[in-house]
Every structure is written in C-alpha cells, then in structure tokens.
Chains A and B, each alone.
Chain A
Amino acid sequence: MNNPTARRWAEPLRVFGLVLPAWAALGVFFVAPLAIMLVISFAQRDAYGGIRPIEDLRAYLRSWQWLANYRQSFEGMYLTILWRSVWMAVATTAICILISYPVAYYIALLARPRWKNLLLVLAVVPFWTSFLIRTYAWMLILRTQGLANTVLLSSGLIHQPLDLLYNDFAVMIGLVYGELPFMILPLYASLEKLDRTLLEAAADLGAARAATFWRVTVPLTMPGIVAGVVLVFIPSIGQFIVSDLLGGAKTVLVGNLINDQFSWARNRPFGSALAFEVTAVVLATVAWYAIYARKRGGMEGL
C-alpha cells in the first residue's frame, strides 16, 4: 500500500469489484437478450415459426426487407392497436394526475401528522402488491354476474345486466386503478418539499387562491408531476395483464399483440419489432425525464 500507484488504483479496483457482479448478471441476462431481439426484429420468420436464415446479407439490406416488420406494424389493424395503446396510456396519465394531485396535496399540506403516515403507507402498499390480483378484483366487480350488476339489478335501476367487462371502459378503470399509486407518491414528495411561506407571500401580495395555485404551487411541484407522468405512462404503454383480463379480445393493446406473436402467431421477428417500438417510446420518455431533471436540478428523492 506504500506504492503510490498501487494506492491510486486500489480504490477504483475495489469499487469496480463491487459493481462487477451486477454488470455481469445484467449484461448477460438483460442487455444481451435485448440486443439479440433487436437483431431478430430485422429478420423474417420462416414457415415453421422460426427465423429465416439470411443468405446474402448485402442483398437483404438493399431490398429493404429488413424494415418489413416495422413497416407492417404501422399498417391497418396494427396501427389501430398502436394508436389505442398510446392514447390509453396518455389518458391514464392525465386521469391519474387529476385524481392524485388533490390527494397528494391533502396528505402533504392538510392531513394531521397522525393520519399522514397511515395515508402514505396505504399509498405505498398497492405499489408492491400483485398487479394480477388487483386487476382480477375488478373482474369480480365488472363481470356479468359481478358485484356492480348485482347491486344495480337488485336496486331496480336496470333490468338487464350491463356489459361492463371486456371493453375500453373496463381497461381504462384497470389502468388508472393499477397506476394511481405511482402518481400519488412523487406528487406527495414534491408537495411535501414545497415552501409554504411562498404560498403565504403570494396571498399577502394579493394573489387570488386560484392564481397562487396555478402560478406558484403547480410550477414548484412540476418535478413531481413530471416524475409521476414517467412512472404512470411507462407501465401503461407496455401493459399486458389489464388489457388481457379486462379487455378480452376487444381492447387489444400492443402488449397483447407482442404476446400473441411469441405464442400462437409464432412470428417472433414481428413481435420483436413491436417490442422495440415500445422500448423506443419508453427510453425516449426516460431521456426526456433525465434532460428535465438535469436542467431543473434538485430532483433527488423523486
């Protein structure tokens, strides 16, 4: 250790040793699979559901066939599904902001300390519990013989059970229900850090309460809103369980389409291309967040 060169390298080597297992595990079993799938997304399937070997790479590249899967995904029924996935994810995000902001505001600024901790734990728990089971619970409510129809029928409001399940409405409920905690928590974190004296200052200077809210509170909590948008939009765009269980065959999202290509449709190259379109949207969202966070600064803990 007396050798200065050895000392200079000892600490970096130790740090390197600490992160190496994670690099190895994620490199081999996460990055490599994604890279392989990216390559396959430019290939074609063969008649048996495998991947057709490319004999002449140069001719293949010149024929533009390598883009065929991506081109196909923007045609006809597939374009409809992609478009539906995007607008449903955007709608879910918007609804989650509208519902969550007042809740986060209440927890951060108005709730008594005793209630505050309980409300926070209650917001965190669904975050970690089974998405599958939480979605399934809505099947119990919405199905033909479910709770909603039973209550409505026995109250005499309706005489025929309503078709509440297997449509866009059911999927929207499932998405908002599933992603809501992801919006409440970052909004709470940013509202909690809000300097209340600024709100008082705005009021003292004669600002109306609405003006204070829109021109002081909302801009100051924008980091929380942005983090919430990212945390809700990303899982919504790649959703599979909600649309499969609550949408049935009617409301198919891109996640279901990908799943189909890898199961019964046996068109892995096309499924890979779809998966990369989703990944591109996700990574673009993350990049937008990273740029925003760098410009804004001070977004630790969000």
Chain B
Amino acid sequence: MNAHAAYGLLAHGLIFGAIVSLLPLGELRARAALLATGLALVAGIAPMMHGTFGAPSLTLLQLALLQLANKTPSPFGQRSALGLFIFGLLFYPTALGLGAFDPYALGYQPWMLLAALIPIAGVLWWRRQNTWLIILTIDLAGYASGLFVNLWDALFDPLLFLVAAFVVGQRLVLRVIASRLSNK
C-alpha cells in the first residue's frame, strides 16, 4: 500500500468531516461530522478532494482534528489565517511555474527551510503559542517519518490556503457590512 496515498485519502475524509462540523447543527454536530467523514470515504468525496488538491498537509489535518474535537478557541485565528494567506499568495504562483525560481524545489533537501523554521518556532515559543508549536512539531515528525517527500507538503497545502483565504475574506466582508451599517 502506498502510505502517502492512504494518508491523503483518510485525511481528506477527516477534513470533510471537520468542514461539516462547522455547520450550525447544535447537538447533532458530532454525529454529523462522523457521518460526513464516513460518507466522504465511501461516496467518492475524499478521492475527489485527494485528486483535486493532493494529500493535505499535517498542519491542515491537525486543524481539522482540533475542529472535530471542538477545541475552542481555534488556533486558526485572523492573524494566522492572514499570515498563511499572504504566504500562499507569494508561494503558489512561483511554485506553479511563474519565473525561474521554484521555491517548492527547496523542500526536497530542505536544509534552508528547516533552518528558517528555528526562529519561527522561537517566536511561537516566546509568544506562548503552544498549539502552533505542537502543530509545527508534528509536521516535522511527519516529514522525518518519510511520509512526505517534500517538506512543504507536510507544512502547507492548497486547501489550507483556501481555508485561510476564506477566513480572511469572511472577516473583510463582516467589516464592510459593519461599516455600512454604522454609516446609516
């Protein structure tokens, strides 16, 4: 069995369950999430997500698991969403073909990437962002296990970028609505 493909399929099932758990379902939330996870795996939703987005990062999977576990407040707040969104805006166009430099290639022998993560982890530790530090730790452990060929794939993925874009966009829309209401 291809471990990376199996991981991608199962992770997408859980992520779909986490997305469903965001719906205002009240008491039925946990059961709906479980049902959605199972349905995603057997009804072709997870393979479709896997084919479209590729295997999700461990970062996204962990955020999905925290959502399923109903951990509040979510570590995925405005700041972190905005940071990931801006990073994605720079990363994806270049990694997907724009220009001569391919940042994704840095992830195959990621000496520089790992070195760059040290100060980031230091800041997370200093600011007592323990949840994010644990998420980063599990990302690195996933890479060290051999599940990911490229370190970027453990850290970040296009679906996570879309979720970040949604969180940022949602905030912007709410601000616009609030400013219009206050002007009336």
- Chains A and B come from one and the same complex: no
A interface residues, Cβ below 8 angstroms from B: none
